[in-house]
Amino acid sequence: MSKILANDGISESGKVALEEKGFQVITEKVDQENLIETINKEGIEVLLVRSATTARKELIDACPNLKIIGRGGVGMDNIDVEYAKEKGLEVYNTPAASSSSVAELVFAHLFGMVRFLYESNRQMPLEGDQNFKSLKKAFSGGSELTGKTLGIIGFGRIGQEVAKRAIGLGMNVLAHDKYTSEANITLNFFNGDKKTFTIESTSLKNVLRGSDFVTLHIPKLEDKAVIGAEEIGLMKDGAGIINTARGGVVDEDALMFSLDKGKLAYAALDVFTNEPNPSIHLMMHNNISLTPHIGAATLEAQDRIGEELAEKIIAYFNK
């Protein structure tokens, strides 16, 4: 019986699928410093992680019985992927499973930003009973998303899911991707009808200059932020930024400065440079909509992630 350590958890449906095939699935969380010892002591052959647990060279070298490292989600920057493959390990992720969930969170933030829900929800419990009229006046200058332009930086699976929702709302879409020159975006309607739109990738500068809102869906591959002071300077006055990709993709200091100076009107962050201890200045900023890295954290996405990992693990051991 092969043992699987799902150190950052796995959905019940994924766990059941594995157990039905005879795998023992352990879901008790093991601290990072005790992970190597536990893997070797328990004879773990499969390590499943999300963003909390890392699988670096030291762990790979120290755990010779390990056969698979699985990442529930898209990015694998917490795993030394190439080194693991060189050592003969299989490394799996689930790039498609959480696309819809992340895309919907982008729009949750977008709607909240243009109607000031992030700040209204802070102020209503404090002042709603005493200063209702003044709060109504303060939050009555909202905007509509219909007719606005959404810039999407990173036009892979998630970026394309975002585009679907933007088109459905009547937004214009500008996209930038180093590796995708164009993409066909198909909307599936409730009555079975379909409509396909072709969106061509343009330059980063064109996206920044032409968008009312910019959303990022790219990995953090360099030390330098993709969106810093220079890039923000190219954006429209009063524009907004949403980052549900990776902490550090947006320069947080430059972002706060641009909000304070009125260059940008909105910002939304689901990911942070110093997770799990983001800047207190960022957390307290009045013009930032905040969520604690929950882009893929829907029940539906967790089921898809667990089931996809289970399928890949079962297929490996049935070879």
Q: Which residues are catalytic?
A: 246, 275, 293
Distance CA 178, CA 304 (A): 28
The contacts found for 81-84 with CB under 8 angstroms, 24 or more apart, are 83/57, 84/55, 84/60
Distance CA 308, CA 70 (A): 10
Please report, for residues 30, 63, 79, 316, the alpha-carbon distance to residue 92 in angstroms, rounded to integers and kept in the order given.
21, 18, 11, 11
Residue environment code for 141-166, b if the CB has 16+ CB neighbours within 10 A, otherwise e: eebebeebbbbbbbbbbbbbbbbbbb
Under DSSP, the state recorded for 115 is T
The first and second tokens of residue 262, run together, are 């009125």
- For strands 194-200 and 182-188, give the pairing: antiparallel
**Which residues have a Cβ under 8 Å from the Cβ of 260 and sit 6 or more positions away?**
none
266 CB neighbour count, 10 Å cutoff: 23
